[in-house]
Chain A
Amino acid sequence: MRDHFYQLIDNLAGELDGDLQLHATLSGEESDFVRFNHARVRQAGHVSQHGLQLALVTGRKHASGDCELSGTLDADLMAARSLLAELRDLLYNCPDDPYLNYNEQPCSSEDSRNEPLPPLGQVIETISQATADLDLVGIYAAGDLVRGYANSLGQKNWLARSIFNLDWSCHTPANQAVKSHYAGSRWHTATLQQHIDSQRQALAILDRPAKQLAPGRYRAYLAPSALAELLELLSHDGFSLRELRTCQSSLLKLEQGNRRLSPAVSMQDNRGAAYEPLFSDEGFMLPASVPLIDNGEFADALVDARSAREYSAPVNAATEVPGSLEMAPGDLADSDILTALDTGLYINHLWYANYSDSNNCRMTGMTRYACYWVENGQIRAPLAVMRFDDSLYRLLGEQLEAITRERQFMHSADSYDERSLASMHLPGILCSEFRLTL
């Protein structure tokens, strides 16, 4: 698809009139999706899609549009030319844009990491056999993902990944559940088996009668996957320069120095160590990492091409949402978590987080999947689901007791419109207090 994309854009660029510039991106996949319920196949399919986005620029005017590519050059040239004709009409009727910003210093790159994935039938058979006695629900998604950029100035950038992503949960008759996630480029059945063995151990605990808690404040350990739910919400607006300059970021008080997090908290958008491309849709090359929080203080905001022009800052992000969020580890060993927690909540997953009060970075959400009541360092019972409502300023500030030494790399299983390349690399956190409300 890379050569096809480059050939397509070279053809289109050669047909441009006058001072027109063309900037193009490609986002595509060849994906198998197999959905499970009760450890059997609920729905299976294959999706082949390659979305082309063209931006036509002249002076301070630009218009952009998308169309789908079929993979056949003649048909795709016809589709792209048709889109370009529409963009030309829009272009000459749209006003100047003072924040237009495309890279005009060509810098090409290639980052292809394609490895053969195991045959689909073999993987599905393995999963089904290994979990035949379990009530498994989830999805296996696998295949090639590509992202490309090319422009009429000669710049060409390409990223290709072959990734599988198995995201599943196993349930008890009382609908207590444990969730796991196995993603990567090299499939190892032994690794899958380790996950399933761990789930079986959890299910033995989850079969116990659930503990119903009263609303109140509890000591709590938030595993990496629980912390991810909070930081995903934070990422929507927290680090965006546009949201900060318009006072809509939930981290505004941190950025202005009115609130602090624990000095143990540091975060960065570490694309260089993850899956996302190091080029933007406007052709800018991006730094491999951007420090977001340094030792509890706000560091850099994420700046996309448009904000860069609007707020006179250098471009450092494709979008102002971190796609490869990484949090620095602490010194609490995984083996010491239960002892350090002593009595309280061991929370493996949180779900459906949203703001209660974004001015104070206060979030609500639910416990979900393998959350436990712990007494004297021993897991006693699964929790009945509870609602939390607490501020991240407190959880990562005065209530933060420890951060784990071990971290978990979590590739997003999101597939809205297309499979995601986003990921997080996070430790767990131990908090002296976690507020439950319902």
Chain B
Amino acid sequence: MPRMTESLTDIVRRFRRQAPAGCDWSLRLVDETEEHLLVRRHVAEPPLRALSRGACISVNVAGSCAYAASADLSNAGLLRAFEQARQLAEQLKPLQLYPRTDSIAPDGSGDYVSPVQRPWSSWSLAEKYDYLRLLNEQLASDAAIVDWAAGLGYRRAEVLIAGAEHQVRQQFEFISPALGAVANRADDTQTRSYGDDRPAQAGLEHLEAIGFQAAAERTAQQALELLRAEECPDRQCDVLLMPGQMMLQIHESIGHPLELDRILGDERNYAGTSFVTADMFGQYQYGSSLLNVVFEPDVPGELASYAFDDNGSPAERQYLIRNGLLLRALGGTESQQRAGLPGVANARTSSWNRPPIDRMANINIEPGDSSMTELIAGIEDGILMDTNRSWSIDDSRNKFQFGCEYARRIENGTLGAVIKNPNYRGISAQFWRNLKAVGNVDTWAAHGVHTCGKGEPNQALYSGHAAPACVFTDVAVFGGD
């Protein structure tokens, strides 16, 4: 009987001894621990701890593949899952979309560990609650703040992907801080948040790195400022998007359109297709010559950094768009074979209970050479927007509308009044060509998305997006009713 403490490596050893010989298989084991703490309106909510441990076994029967996932990691449980996958692959073989021509097992071995300086366990539960209570005090700065909360999330995931010969082992640790203040006057409610879009692979040192504690008072003050602010005007003008909104802009209108499984049509019934087609790579001008986009799995601490994807393929930094020219798709080895296009190692899963599919990971924009002062000075009529609060885009990732929590006017090169309910809309295929200025490394920051949804069955997954502040011309902006 396996014990909960049995190492994943030992489980692999056990399975290898009993796996039927002569089969092409891969075993992906995931062991996760999560802890979530929240103090809302000065009241500590109960701590939540989640433990999850399971296996996904994939079997390739002469080019026909299937998987079976189970939390039963006993010898009998693993063999049962193997047999379920094998039978399914056999049964559906005549109906498969295409035959796999390569092995589904990892063809190399290696390790990865998240960089952590101050472990989650280095603060006691009481210390964490004290910290969150302190943030609550700072958030509740005015009677018009009607709701406020501060929370910390922690997740540790050990992932081991093995075949008959090789295995890769990755140990991730994530921290997810979040705080927010809700201000209300009459029937106007405004929200300002901080940290929720800045999760990282890191320890508690991340809180200091992003100025989490110092942000609480500012966050509440900005929520109050929004109550006094004018509506965002309805017009065409420049927009200066801060990294917190660039995250969403990259995610929706570069990351998703470049996912190869969308281009191959797999997602047409759910997450959608793409305006990008296979023939565009190498010749399509995606954005202005200032646009340089990289798949960057090797940024220390960024949310979706890794050394291998969930098929066990080694991950390397690659340009997706260089000087505005579209170069490479986001597709793992399986999609690369189907499409006949180069891709990246981005076949990923949300956990042990889902199969790998093409997912964006760290999709970053390289910094340019303009300081924040220069970016603002170059705008005659524009709006600075920060922190995403609303997102919507069509199923081919072209027509979008995004909204932000916070904005400021820019007139004649000078930052002006706060404005509320800022929204803008555009078309991906045109928007990036209107990229007018790219901030330097001082304006650059890494952000991340916790719950990018895609796939059938559905999977919510992490992605990272680091970017400088950027200026776009001739954008339709508007406010609330």
Are B124 and A387 neighbours in the complex by a CB distance under 8 Å? no
Contact (Cβ within 8 A) A366 B71 = no
List residues 425-481 of chain B with CB under 8 A from any CB of chain A. 425, 427, 453, 456-460, 476, 479-481
Cβ B269 vs Cβ A40 within 8 A: no
- Whose C-beta in chain B lies nearest to the C-beta of A87? B49
Q: Does A37 contact B (CB under 8 A)?
A: yes
Within 8 A of A (CB), among B40-57: 43-54, 56
Q: Is the pair B399, A366 in contact by a Cβ cutoff of 8 Å?
A: yes
A75 touches B47 (CB 8 A): no
With contact pairs A90-B125, A93-B124, A248-B182 given, residues A42 and B4 touching in the complex (Cβ less than 8 Å): no
Q: A78-B4, A352-B392 are in contact. Are A98 and B69 (CB under 8 A)?
A: no
Other-chain residue from B1, B125, B146, B480 in contact with A356 (beta carbon distance below 8 A) = B480
Q: Knowing A65-B48, A67-B52, A95-B129 are in contact, say whether A44-B92 is a contact too (CB < 8 A).
A: yes
B288, CB-defined interface residue at 8 Å: no
CB of B55 to closest CB in A, whole Å: 10
The CA-CA distance from A248 to B181 in the complex, in Å, is: 11
A168–B266 Cα gap in the complex (Å)? 11
Interface members, chain A 164-182 (any B CB < 8 Å):
167-169, 171, 175, 177, 179
Residue on A nearest B357 in the bound complex, by CB: A43
What chain B residues lie within 8 Å of A87 (beta carbons)?
49
Please report the C-alpha to C-alpha distance between residue A83 and residue B3 in the assembled complex, in whole angstroms.
13
Per-residue CB contact flags for chain B residues 52-92 toward chain A (1 = under 8 Å, else 0) read 11101000000001111111111001000100110011011
A364 touches B401 (CB 8 A): yes
A366 near B394 with CB under 8 A, answer yes
Whether a CB of chain B sits under 8 angstroms from the CB of A289 is no
Residues of B within 8 A of A247 (CB): 146-147, 182, 184, 189
The answer to whether A45 and B355 touch across the interface, beta carbons within 8 angstroms, is yes
Most buried by B among A35, A47, A72, A360: A47
- Which residues 9-62 of B sit at the A interface, judged by CB distance below 8 A? 43-54, 56
With a cutoff of 8 Å between Cβ atoms, the chain A residues found around residue B401 in the complex are 354, 356, 364, 387, 389, 437-438
Q: Is A12 an interface position by the 8 A CB rule?
A: no
Chain A positions 52-84 with a Cβ under 8 Å from a chain B Cβ: 55, 61-72, 74-75, 78-79, 82-83
Verify if B353 is at the interface (C-beta below 8 Å from A). Answer: yes
B197 on the A face (CB < 8 A): no
B165: interface (CB < 8 Å):
no
- Tell me the bound Cα distance from A211 to B478 in angstroms: 27
B97 near A354 (CB under 8 angstroms)?
A: no
Stretch of A252-260, A271-279, A312-320 lying at the B interface: A252-260
CB-based contact B96/A357 at 8 Å: no
User: In the complex, what residues of A have CB within 8 A of residue B68's CB?
Assistant: 45-48
Alpha-carbon distance between A128 and B129 when the two chains are bound, in angstroms: 55
Taking the complex as formed, is B265 at the interface, i.e. its CB lies under 8 A from any CB of chain A?
A: yes
Q: What CA separation (Å) do A64 and B46 show in the bound complex?
A: 7
B208 sits at the interface (CB 8 A): no
B279 contacts the other chain (CB 8 A)? no
A360 with B481, Cβ < 8 A, contacts A38-B265, A385-B399 known: yes
B191 interface contact, C-beta 8 A: yes
- Do A65 and B50 form a contact, CB below 8 Å, given A171-B268, A247-B146? yes
**Per-residue A-contact encoding for B178-200, CB less than 8 Å = 1, 0 else:** 00001010011101000000000
| B265 adjacent to A37 (CB under 8 Å) | yes
* Docked CA distance A365–B71 (Å): 39
Do B95 and A75 touch (CB < 8 A)? no
Evaluate whether A78 and B51 lie within 8 angstroms (CB atoms) in the complex, with A137-B268, A253-B187 already known.
no
A139 x B480 contact (CB < 8 A): no
By size class, the interface of chain A is 35 or more
Alpha-carbon distance A353/B395, docked complex (angstroms): 12
CB distance from A396 to the nearest CB of B (A): 15
How far, in whole Å, are A387 and B427 apart by their CA atoms in the complex? Answer: 11
A45 touches B69 (CB 8 A): yes
Residue numbers in A under 8 Å from B47 (CB-CB): 63-64, 90, 94
Are A78 and B3 in contact (CB-based, < 8 A)? yes
Q: When the two chains form their complex, are residues A248 and B191 in contact, meaning their CB atoms are under 8 A apart?
A: yes
Q: Are B67 and A67 in contact (CB under 8 A)?
A: no
Q: Which residue of A lies closest to B479 (CB)?
A: A357
Q: Are B269 and A138 in contact (CB under 8 A)?
A: yes
Scoring B residues 213 to 250 as 1 if CB is less than 8 Å from chain A, else 0, what string do you get?
00000000000000000000000000000000000000
Q: Please, how many angstroms separate the alpha-carbon atoms of A391 and B479 in the complex?
A: 13
B270 contacts across to A, CB distance below 8 A: 139
Q: Are A68 and B187 in contact (CB under 8 A)?
A: no
Q: Is the CB of B353 within 8 A of A43?
A: no
- Closest residue on chain A to residue B398 by CB atoms: A385
Interface flags for B123-148 (1: CB within 8 Å of A; 0: not) read 01110010000000000000000110
Q: How far is the CA of A411 from the CA of B265 in the complex (A)?
A: 24
Q: Which residues of A contact B49 (CB under 8 A)?
A: 63-66, 83, 86-87, 90
Whether B151 is near chain A, meaning CB under 8 Å from some CB there, is no
Residues of A within 8 A of B44 (CB): 94-95, 97
A50 to B272, CA, bound (A): 30
- Of the candidates A48, A83, A99, the one whose C-beta lies within 8 Å of that of B71 is A48
**B292: Cβ under 8 A from any A Cβ:** no
Contact: A48 with B72, CB < 8 Å? yes
Assess whether A49 is in contact with B69, with CB atoms less than 8 Å apart: yes
Closest chain A CB from B420 CB (angstroms): 10
Task: Verify B268–A99 contact, CB threshold 8 A.
Answer: no
Contact check: which of B45, B51, B54, B129 meets A65 at CB < 8 Å?
B51
- Which of A43, A95, A171, A365 is in CB contact (< 8 Å) with B392? A365
Contacts A64-B46, A385-B394 given; does A48 touch B69 at CB 8 Å: yes
B423 within 8 Å of A by Cβ? Answer: yes
Interface positions, chain A 91-115, Cβ under 8 Å from B, are 93-95, 97-100
Are B95 and A48 touching (Cβ within 8 A)?
Answer: no
Indicate which residue in B66, B91, B480 contacts A359 across the interface (CB closer than 8 Å).
B480
Contacts of A333 in B (CB 8 A): none
A139 with B182: in contact, given A78-B4, A359-B188, A366-B392 (CB under 8 Å)? no
Query: Pick the contact of B456 from A35, A353, A365 — CB < 8 Å?
Result: A35
- Please measure, in the bound complex, the distance between the C-alpha atom of A258 and the C-alpha atom of B403, giving whole angstroms: 25
CB within 8 Å for A357 and B421 given contacts A248-B191, A415-B457: yes
Q: Report if A407 contacts B (CB, 8 A).
A: no
B66 touches A45 (CB 8 A): yes
With A87-B49, A385-B395: A246-B146 Cβ-Cβ less than 8 Å: yes
B273 proximal to A (CB < 8 A): yes
Complex Cα–Cα for A124 and B64 (A):
15
Shortest Cβ distance from residue A104 to the other chain B in the assembled complex, whole angstroms: 17
Bound: A362/B481 CA distance, A: 8
Which chain A residues lie closer than 8 Å to B427 at the CB level? 438
Tell me which residues across on chain A come within 8 A of B56, comparing CB atoms: 45
Q: What chain B residues lie within 8 Å of A93 (beta carbons)?
A: 124-126
Complexed CA–CA distance, A356 and B232 (Å): 12
Complex-state Cα separation, A187 to B156, whole angstroms: 42
Asked if B393 is at the interface (CB within 8 A of a chain A CB), the reply is yes
Q: How far is the CA of A135 from the CA of B273 in the complex (A)?
A: 14
Chain A residues with CB below 8 A from B48, complex form: 63-66
**Residues on B with beta carbons closer than 8 Å to the beta carbon of A218:** none
The 8 closest A-B pairs by CB, nearest first: A357-B480, A68-B71, A246-B147, A45-B67, A70-B72, A139-B456, A65-B49, A415-B457
Where the two chains meet, the residues of B that have a C-beta atom closer than 8 Å to any C-beta of A are 1-4, 43-54, 56, 65-74, 77, 81, 84-85, 88-89, 91-92, 95-97, 124-126, 129, 146-147, 182, 184, 187-189, 191, 264-266, 268-270, 273, 350, 353-355, 357, 390-396, 399, 401, 403, 421, 423, 425, 427, 453, 456-460, 476, 479-481
**25 CB-based A-B contacts, threshold 8 Å:** A41-B95, A46-B67, A46-B85, A48-B68, A48-B70, A50-B71, A61-B46, A62-B46, A66-B51, A71-B72, A72-B72, A72-B74, A74-B1, A75-B72, A78-B4, A87-B49, A90-B125, A175-B273, A246-B147, A247-B189, A356-B401, A359-B189, A364-B392, A366-B399, A415-B456
**A-B contacts besides A75-B74, A79-B4, 9 pairs, CB < 8 Å:** A65-B51, A68-B51, A97-B46, A121-B92, A248-B147, A248-B189, A352-B395, A366-B395, A391-B481
